[in-house]
Structure 1
Amino acid sequence: MKDLISHFIFRVDANTEMGYGHLMRCIAMAQELRLLKIEVSFLVSKPSENIKKRLKDEGLACIPVKAVSGSIEDAGEIVKYANSVKASWIGVDGYQFNEKYQKFLKNKKFSLFFIDDYGHCGHYFADIVLNQNISAVENYYKSREDYTELLLGTDYVLLRREFRNYVNFKRKISGRAKKILITIGGSDPHNITLKALEGVRKTGLKNLEVKIVAGGANPNLEGIEDFAKKYRSVLKAEVLKDIKNISELMAWADIAVSGGGSTCWELAFLGLPMLVTAWADNQKPIAAALGKKRIAVNLGWHEKITAEDIAKELKKLILSSELRKKMSENGQKTIDGMSARRVLDSILIKSMLIRNVNRNDCKLLWKWVNDPAVRKASYKSDFISLKEHTEWFRKHLKDHDSYHFIVSDINNTPLGQIRFDLKNNEAEVDISVAPEKRGMGYASLIIRKGLMELRGKSVNLKTVVAFIKIENTNSLHSFERAAFIKTGERIKSGFLSAVMKRKI
């Protein structure tokens, strides 16, 4: 897919004050990009040694930013670096980056991916805005460009690579919970971890095992370790620093106590019942929505809760397997683990170029239609002569009930073609991928790109239909990935075929 994205840059910061959630979700997206062999760099203001090491361990470049974070000078540094590595996309994540920052980057002709949480900008110039939170609503982004695509809600949660092994994970709910995971965040500047530990102790329940996840940037680490040592015989508490196997710990635990940031989506994905507290303003709507949907117990704002409050709610969860079971089910229904790929697909589709077929495409389409794989998948497998094709093509160009597009990469190299033939309120779709581009995952992206272009034609359509030979499993899979649903089977031109449909 380097034909679509030459190099992807992330501009993101992480420190004790803001936490590490922004960085971790960008790493999740970077991991997905690297699967496609796309080069990725991170530009970070005052990166700590921990951040440098984490990015190095992921095989990601970490470039320090010298200017004030979020300033136009900062954006200028990004542009300079982006030009030096010939980057085509810039991803930005952080509340210090405003509409002026976005506009500056867009004016420099870069494609812009903006990760947001609560609509903090006055206007959005980005090509794609991602808000992965359960509380995300379109109303946050009323002021945006016409081209801006919104990816809102938990269908787009960015989970890191380590969670892929748990896509079909089934949690076992014990009669009485014993294993507690405390994971407030990489920095926990308000020392909520210690309050949570005290809450576990004050449940008065015996035989509890507690694992505490603490980042190296946690300023209260010594006090947490002292508490864990003091009550180790009662709590069997263990402090774990700068871990890389958080998914294993989440699978191990019966209950989690967490901050209201991106960790919540990881917990929900693994069906881990949780108590959640908000320690930043953007976490308040997340914690509230999680509580309302009964995915978590919302403890509320961190300053207003006590260790006794935590103990009371935690004890209820520990003793009620029914409550934990329901929360676990609700969480796993919300996060399916395929979100990062959905986000990447949207970026790849945005990177594609599309245009109407013109008379200069006649021979190209003739070569493609006579490719052996295309003839085999077609209902009429005979070779098509250039004369026959040319006669059809001339008539086809004049057909106002047919929309035919060529989809290309960023260098204008054709990737494939897609055609929609209209009849009443339905369009039948025909697609083929350039022979040299097959087997790379382009088919579903071309279908989705074509659908987006068709919508822009203001065509009076309700559904799009594809007829696919039953044995053509690759094509069936491509249409499924493009959100087509198999509605039945029928005989078409003597072949048993799947009928695949989706609403326009």
Structure 2
Amino acid sequence: MKISIITEGFQNTGYGHITRCLSLYQAFEERRIIPRFYINGDDKCASYLNGARFEIIDWLNHPAQLIKKIINSDFAIIDSYLAGREFYEKISNFCERLLIIDDNLRIDYPESIILNGTINAENFPYQKKTGYEFLLGSEYIPIRKPFWDSAQRKYNKEIKNILITFGGQDVRNLTIPVVKLVGEIYPEAVIHAVFGNKENGEIEKLKELYKDVKFYNLLNAQQIKELMLTADVVITAAGQTLYELAVTGTPSVAVVVADNQKNNILEWSKSGFLIEPIFYNEINCMKKIAEQLQKFKSIGLRKKCGSAGRKKVDGQGSRRVVSYLIERKCAVDKFYLRKAVSEDSEIVYELSNDPSVRSQSINKKPIEWDEHTIWFDGKIKDNNYLFLLAFDREDNFIGQIRFEIENNSAVVSISLTEKFRGKGLSKKIIKEGSRRLFNEYQNVGSITAYILPHNSASLRAFEAAGYKPDGEELINNELFKKFLLER
């Protein structure tokens, strides 16, 4: 499948869209489907992408540049507060289906799959119109990969560790006032304060001023998770971090620091995970934080709140979304295609050495493993080779279709595992693979298939996929029928 992820991220607005899209990217990657990011953002975006494939492109002002790259995507995933309806409509014309990440019914979106992982989003007033699909509620929330499988936490009788994290930007400058407040209420506790983008010099100054506080800067998701599991209580902004705190069962005091967090904190308070909402611009904001910190001296309350959080978020949101998209793709054709990756070497080796596959090949000799690994590693890295594998919705291996490209033409070969033969899949895989080849290699004008005359199933499959007879050719003293598909 071709998956394009379109989002944005700037230092002045934050990188939250990127981090939650990365969660979806990693869930695809887990299924060995490798998407590509297209980010309207600044140079700091790369530090949030953990090695993901990406391009920085001002798609908001230059959509034509983006369209050239995402055209014929199976799914285009868009996570934006900047894009308008016209942009979504334009992109929908060049991909099979849009998946739009929404938080608060921001605009009237065009026909698409709407993903809103906000707590209780299933109760939001979305109009369930024809042409729309909805993935709503915290069971679909994309959170960072280390939080997908969270260990049970320990609740200490006494509060020994308190974590303070107001996001990468700390836009309301709450960290230091809260550090002082916590020090007064819990003088014996270890205070951990996390920043997202402080200069190292600033961090060193803070360490000098507050010698009893542990300051951290630019932690990765695994490090944040470990701190959360260490902390007895966390004081945080009321954004995406709450979902990670919920899945770890961490008792939390949350403060709304942006308008789009208001609904979030109200719903979390209703769920029992939070005691009550706090807003940064309230006159008694610090007083409310202090009151909730006092209440959390009760281990019973901490356990109750932590349990309520875990009931709402199990960490499997991104996997559910990806499974939904794969099942949707497979609903009609019963398969999906993706590019081969290094981990696929063994299943391709076993299929290629199947006696029935070897008997229909140009080279009929059994393949040695060492020979195969050298060949396979070379082909998946070869820019003139499109190596696609077919799977069903449960990721059972169906078969392979490969295209070797030379100049303006390509040669195709296909083989299916025994379990999936005779089900009418070959013609569909040939058709889809050929379409993919023409889409990705604009210079290729034709594809040729070489088929043994007695292989009637393959002859029928290629003809059904639109290939036309194109004579015969003698290869290795064996006569093959040629079939041709032109662009």
TM-score (norm 1): 0.63
SS of structure 2 residue aligned to 1:146? coil
Judge conservation of contact 1:415–1:437 (CA < 8 Å) in 2.
no
Do structure 1's residue 311 and structure 2's residue 290 form an aligned pair?
A: yes
Query: Any residues of structure 2 matched to 1:180-329 within 5 Å, and which?
Result: 180-203=162-185, 205-216=186-197, 218=198, 226-233=205-212, 236-244=213-221, 245-304=223-282, 305-317=284-296, 319-329=297-307
Match of 2:65 among 77, 84, 98: 77
Matched with 2:471 is none
Measure how far apart 1:37 and its partner are.
1.6
* Alpha-carbon distance between aligned partners in 2 of 1:197 and 1:9, rounded to the nearest angstrom: 42
**CA 1:29 to 1:109, structure 2 compared with 1: closer, same or farther past 3 Å?**
closer
Q: Distance in 2 between matches of 1:15 and 1:306?
A: 28
Q: How does 1:308-387 map to 2 (within 5 A)?
A: 308-317=287-296, 319-354=297-332
Partner of 1:93: 79
Identical amino acids, percent of aligned pairs: 25
**Given that residues 293 and 330 in structure 1 are in contact (C-alpha distance below 8 angstroms), is that contact kept between their aligned partners in structure 2?**
yes
What amino acid is the match of 2:54? Answer: C
User: Could you report, residue by residue, the CA deviation over 1:128-187 in whole angstroms, capped at 9, with x for unpaired residues?
Assistant: 111101141454421x65122111111112122212442xx2222111212111121122
C-alpha offsets along residues 383-424 of structure 1, whole Å, 9 cap, x if unaligned?
xxxxxxxxxxxxxxxxxxxxxxxxxxxx9x8959xxxxxxxx
User: Tell me, what secondary structure is at the counterpart of 2:278?
Assistant: strand
2:4 and 2:76 in contact (8 A); partners too: yes
| AA of the residue aligned to 1:53 | S
Report the Cα distance in structure 1 between the residues aligned to 2:106 and 2:148, rounded to whole angstroms: 31
Look up the match of 1:151.
Answer: 135
Relative to 1, partners in 2 of residues 1:80 and 1:109: Cα closer, same or farther, differing over 3 Å?
A: same
8 Å Cα contact 1:185/1:215 also seen in 2: yes
Could you tell me how far apart the structure 1 residues matched to 2:7 and 2:48 are?
14
Inter-CA distance 170–348: structure 2 relative to 1 (3 Å threshold): same
Could you tell me the TM-score, scaled by structure 2's length? Answer: 0.65
CA distance in 2, matches of 1:347, 1:141: 20
> What is aligned with 2:47?
53
Quick check: 1:276–1:300 contact (8 Å CA) kept in 2? yes
CA deviation after TM superposition for structure 1 residue 202, in Å: 3.3
Question: Where do 1:153-168 residues align within 5 Å?
Answer: 153-166=137-150
Amino acid at match of 2:48: R
Q: Deviations over 1:340-362 (max 9, x none)?
A: 21111111122224289xxxxxx
Distance 1:158 1:230 in 2: 37
Q: CA deviation at 1:112?
A: 0.9
- Relative to structure 1, the CA distance from residue 9 to residue 123 in structure 2 (aligned partners, 3 Å threshold; closer, same or farther) is closer
Q: Closer, same or farther in 2 for the Cα pair 1:299/1:100, shift >3 Å?
A: same
Mapped to 2, the partners of 1:299 and 1:193 lie a distance apart of 18
CA change 1:415–1:274 in 2 (3 A) is closer
In the superposition, relative to structure 1, how do residues 141 and 97 fare at CA in structure 2: closer, same or farther (>3 Å)? farther
Does 2:117 correspond to 1:132? yes
Conserved 8 A contact 1:260-1:283:
yes
State whether residues 162 and 191 of structure 2, in contact with CA within 8 Å, keep that contact through their aligned partners in structure 1.
yes
C-alpha displacement of 1:254: 0.8
**Gaps (5+ residues) in structure 2?**
335-387, 394-415, 422-487
Q: How far off is 1:328 after superposition?
A: 0.9
Displacement after TM superposition at 1:291 (Å) = 1.3
1:141 is the counterpart of 2:126: yes
Q: CA deviation at 1:331?
A: 0.8
Amino acid at match of 1:100: E
Instruction: Tell whether the 8 Å contact from 1:15 to 1:187 is kept in structure 2 after alignment.
Output: no
- Partner deviation per Cα, 1:97-123 (whole Å, 9 max, x = no partner): 232222111122432111110000123
Deviation at 1:265, TM superposition (A): 0.6
Whole-angstrom CA distance in 2 between matches of 1:437 and 1:209: 60
Counterpart check, 1:20 vs 2:15 = yes
Deviations 1:412-442 (A, max 9, x none): x8959xxxxxxxxxxxxxxxx985569xxxx
State the SS of the aligned residue for 2:325: helix
> What is the root-mean-square deviation in Å for CA atoms of aligned residues?
2.9
Match of 1:62 among 43, 54, 64: 54
In structure 2, distance between residues paired with 1:271 and 1:313: 17
Is this contact kept in 2: 1:10–1:26, CA < 8 A? yes
> In 1, Cα distance between the equivalents of 2:231 and 2:166?
15
Give the secondary structure class of the aligned counterpart of 2:332.
strand
1:375 corresponds in structure 2 to: none
Cα distance, 1:332 vs structure 2: 1.0
Question: In the alignment, which residue of structure 2 is the partner of 1:29?
Answer: 24
Q: In 1, are the aligned partners of 2:70 and 2:94 still within 8 Å (CA)?
A: no
Please give the secondary structure, in 2, of the residue aligned with 1:232.
Answer: coil
Partner amino acid for 2:28? L
Amino acid at match of 2:287: E
5+ residue gaps in structure 1?
A: 357-410, 417-432, 439-504
